[in-house]
Amino acid sequence: MSALDEWRDALATWALPDEILTKTRRSPWEFPWELFRRRAEAALDAEPTPSAARAFEALPGTVLDVGAGPGAAGLAVARRADHVTAVDQSEEALAIFEEIATRAGISHDTLTGTWPDVAPHAPVADVVVCNHVLYNVPNLEPFLQELTAHGRRRVVCEITARHPRAEINVLWKRLHDLDRPTQPIADVAEAAIAELGLSARREDWTVRLSPEPRGELLGRLLVELALEPEQEPDLVAALGEDLREVEGGWSVGSLERNLVTLWWDV
């Protein structure tokens, strides 16, 4: 089986059973935009991550941020960019990006839609950045091909080493008695990129996340675990000692995340 097929088939196993989806009023795949807002704001002045450093190498110039959310990837390199275009399917996320970019005096615009569907309407940029999107993309081939077609110099993709929801698999078992997948992982994405004839380079690194306010953390987990607000006591019981206060906030398990940066020149 090709890596492209392996990636697609593995992501299909993350679909949740209908009996769980019909019992919840919110989609377990919703994004906590306020959490991502804080990360986007912090990215403006933070020390460059390995992903930002790889983008910096191909700048100054224009930047296209695909699957931007509130725009952390584009904002992280905005200090060396002439213009940043953020693409996302969420108007709410793009409104947050617009607010942050405007306040920071960054030349920018936005494009609402799902990649690669909106690729014909997106500008070609000197650097294309795409952070934490690939695990939402079953069909990598057209997605990556359009990323490459829209970059003049370089494409930089950042993902977690394993599926970002895998870290709560134990909670799905405790609360729903449901075994969740562990595949695919970044190694498969790297192999899929190679199958497309792209000579990607890779850097593995670790980031330490900031703890969250207790209410936001539990609220986020309730959504991700298809639970209702009134089930918060069940969630707290399932978390047990994994729920801990640290550095003025709250965390579940380790704050460290293993990340992978994949980049290729156009």
Q: Is 220 a domain residue?
A: no
Strand 81-88 relative to strand 256-265, pairing: unpaired
Q: Is 215 a domain residue?
A: no
Q: Is 251 a domain residue?
A: no
Total domains present in the chain: 1
pLDDT digits (tens, 9 = 90+) for 154-190: 999 999 999 999 999 999 999 999 999 999 999 999 9
Task: For CA atoms 186, 188, 192, 197, give the dihedral sign.
Answer: positive
Give the whole-angstrom CA distance, residue 51 versus residue 77.
9
Q: Is 171 a domain residue?
A: no
DSSP state of 70: T
Give 257's contacts (C-beta < 8 A, 6+ positions apart).
Answer: 160, 206, 207, 208, 209
Q: What is the per-residue pLDDT for 55?
A: 98
Q: Is 230 a domain residue?
A: no
Predicted model pTM? 0.96
Q: What is the per-residue pLDDT for 90?
A: 97
Is the pLDDT assigned to residue 253 strictly greater than 90? no
> Which residue, among 131, 61, 133, 69, has the nearest Cα to 100 in the 3D structure?
69
Q: Is 238 a domain residue?
A: no
Cis peptide before 184 (omega within 30 of 0): yes
Q: Is 231 a domain residue?
A: no
Q: Is 241 a domain residue?
A: no
Full domain range(s) for residue 21? 3-166+181-210+261-265
Beta bridge partners of 246: 249
Q: What is the CATH number of the domain that holds 136?
A: 3.40.50.150
